[in-house]
Amino acid sequence: MAYDLSFAREVYQHVEEGHWIQMCMQCGVCSGSCPLGPHWEFGPRQIFQMVRAGKGEQIMRSSALWMCTSCYNCIVRCPRHLPITHIIHGLARYSIVKGYVDPQQTTARFAGGIFWNNVISTGRVGEAALSMVLYFADGFGQGINNVLEMKNVALGMLKTKRLKPLPFRGKIKGYEGFKKMLDKAEELEMEGVEL
Ligand code: SF4
Ligand code: SF4
């Protein structure tokens, strides 16, 4: 694959932790360690290679950017200590900013709004409420279909105590400080300050 660094330079400058891609030695440990690797259109190693090869549009439109579950397996194993998870999420976010992804696409909508709103309202993740908002985002009928489709997964999670069925316990201790911190981060981001 020929090198064309124009897109890479953009990524190094504007994508969270994107400059780390320069350190990738293409060993493939990350892709081999990723539990979802076989299901990605492109694995992390290939994404980083494509950044350096100038395949910007292909990457920005790829579903691969939305597959990372933040398990951190790749980060633990990367011999060059690249923050791979952060870079993948950074590229996904950048694809929204640049208008390559429909903000209503399910994963973009989840990451960009539903999850965020769930967390900032109390400082905790409320799994049951989170799932319900996501499932019913496209209307009541679709919501019922989604619930029926996912019921066995939900039952399994309840049995193993991985899902709390009742609404959570209100705001975290020190919520005001937490909210101030997020507001400040948002303000800095709007000003274009790299966080
Ligand atoms: S494990 Fe690290 S160095 Fe190896 S391909 Fe992945 S990101 Fe690059
Ligand atoms: S953090 Fe993301 S990219 Fe890394 S191994 Fe886990 S799912 Fe794959």
SS3 for 70-97 is CCCHHHHHCCCCCCHHHHHHHHHHHHHH
Q: How far is the CA of 173 from the centre of ligand 2 (A)?
A: 31
> Which atom of ligand 1 lies nearest, measured to the CA of 81?
2
Quickly tell me which residue has 């939900």 as its tokens: 154
Burial (CB count within 10 angstroms: exposed 0-12, middle 13-18, buried 19+), residue 156: exposed
pLDDT digits (tens, 9 = 90+) for 98-147: 989 876 777 777 776 788 888 888 888 888 888 888 889 889 999 999 99
Evaluate if residue 24 carries a pLDDT over 90.
yes
Q: How far is the CA of 75 from the centre of ligand 1 (A)?
A: 9
- Distance, in Å, from the CA atom of 177 to the CA atom of 46, rounded to the nearest integer, reads 41
Looking at residue 23, its pLDDT comes to 96
Question: Between 3.40.190.10, 1.10.10.10, 1.10.1060.10, 3.40.50.300, what CATH number should domain 5-97 receive?
Answer: 1.10.1060.10
Query: By percentage, how much of the chain surpasses pLDDT 90?
Result: 49
Burial (CB count within 10 angstroms: exposed 0-12, middle 13-18, buried 19+), residue 13: exposed
Cβ 65 vs Cβ 55: under 8 Å: no
Evaluate if residue 194 carries a pLDDT over 60.
no
pLDDT digits (tens, 9 = 90+) for 47-60: 999 999 999 999 99
- Distance, in Å, from the CA atom of 150 to the CA atom of 131, rounded to the nearest integer, reads 10
Looking at residue 187, its pLDDT comes to 85
Q: pTM of this prediction?
A: 0.74
Residues sharing a CB contact under 8 Å with residue 2, sequence separation 6 or more, in sequence order: 53
Looking at residue 33, its pLDDT comes to 93
Q: 161 in the Ramachandran plot: left (φ > 0), alpha (ψ -120 to 50) or beta? A: left
Q: How far is the CA of 66 from the centre of ligand 1 (A)?
A: 19
pLDDT-based confidence at residue 86 (cuts at 50, 70, 90): very high
pLDDT-based confidence at residue 2 (cuts at 50, 70, 90): low
pLDDT-based confidence at residue 165 (cuts at 50, 70, 90): confident
Looking at residue 38, its pLDDT comes to 80
Looking at residue 131, its pLDDT comes to 85
Looking at residue 44, its pLDDT comes to 95
Q: Which ligand is nearest to the CA of 49?
A: 1
Question: Where do the domains of the chain lie?
Answer: 5-97, 106-190
Cβ 33 vs Cβ 45: under 8 Å: no
